[in-house]
Structure 1
Amino acid sequence: MAQMGRPRTFDRQAAVEQAMFLFWQQGYESTSLSQLKASLGGGISAPSFYAAFGSKEALFREAAQCYLDTFARVTECLWDDSLAPRAAIEQALRQSASMQSEPGHPPGCMVALGCMSAPTAEHAAVAAPLTASRARTRAGFVHCVKRGMASGELPADMDAVALASVFDSFLSGVAIQARDGVGYAVFDSAITQVMRVWDVSRLTA
């Protein structure tokens, strides 16, 4: 009879969070199964790993969901219609830039960086939650621009997708620069500048 893995003695949720940080720092492909087994709960055997998580792919999905339920919520204000649309965009940019630069976790954004090393069709299903999150944020920027158009704050003939892409592209760039060590003070000033794109558009309304 095959030997069973030792009983699980680690905190499963804490292990998922540890995996999240590894995937966030290194990406999906660059994080090996041996690294995961060595790190989670102070080290677990292969049988214990598979009994707890099933596979590396399944663990990544759990880790990604953990990120989406916590750190990624900094951009949910894009869907808060109680905020003025410009304010919602600025808040999303500042909250995300602050989160991506703060100590205590890897710099940058797992949604933007977690699967950049694994863009192939083979890993499309693994990356799907992060892809969906990026699409939701992009749609949130469009939502805010369209609210600005509907209220008369922006021109009615504004290209909503194009203007939204300015803010979405900026946020993607923050992820790369934060990983390179750029601090929040730079992003804070840059956000003030990028919000002038909205203001210039408003002046022509």
Structure 2
Amino acid sequence: MTDIAWTEGTWTTEPAHVDFAEDGMRVTAIEKSDAWRITSYGFIHDTEHALLTSFEQETAVEVSFHLDFSAQFDQAGIFVRVDDATWIKAGIEWSDGVESLGAVVTRGVSDWSLSPVPGWDGRLVTVRASRSGDALTVRARADNQPWRLVRVAPLDPEAVVTAGPFCCAPSRENLTVHFTSWRTSAADASLHPDS
């Protein structure tokens, strides 16, 4: 794994505040920040705080953060972007009173998958996006537990893609996310660990 410097990325939307320290980066989100396109709700939100840099084919990107959410739709993880209408966000979202692991895959319109992960609150969460061939494979874990497969989504192998940490606070102000690392490595060798 190779660390990516926090200064290497560019924000899609500037957060309310960013603080850099030896133990990582703390990002305070703006109230009503979010990323979504059309499906079910009818609106387009493109105000996520995503710190992005180049994401090359046959590489992976990992983002780690301390999970400390308490308000509806607090969220953080990894954001993978092709353009305004083609992107993927994956990580933890506080939904209906519980921390949940999921992803939003957007290709013109958004979809949303979510699964509760009770017991992850207060722990270090790592989200990994691996780009290989025509797919993006997303995995996540708490602390050093085994990786969980979150999503396999199509991603044009010829696309120019950026990726990095993100957070949003759709329903409140003063959400601060403590990101501890942003790293890159070679893409995962296989979709399944025993292959």
Shared fold, TM over 0.5: no
Whose helix fraction is larger, Structure 1's or Structure 2's? 1
* TM-score class normalised by the smaller sequence: under 0.3
Whose strand fraction is larger, Structure 1's or Structure 2's? 2
Higher relative contact order (CA 8 A, sep 6+): 2
Normalising to structure 1: TM-score of the pair?
0.22
Normalising to structure 2: TM-score of the pair?
0.23
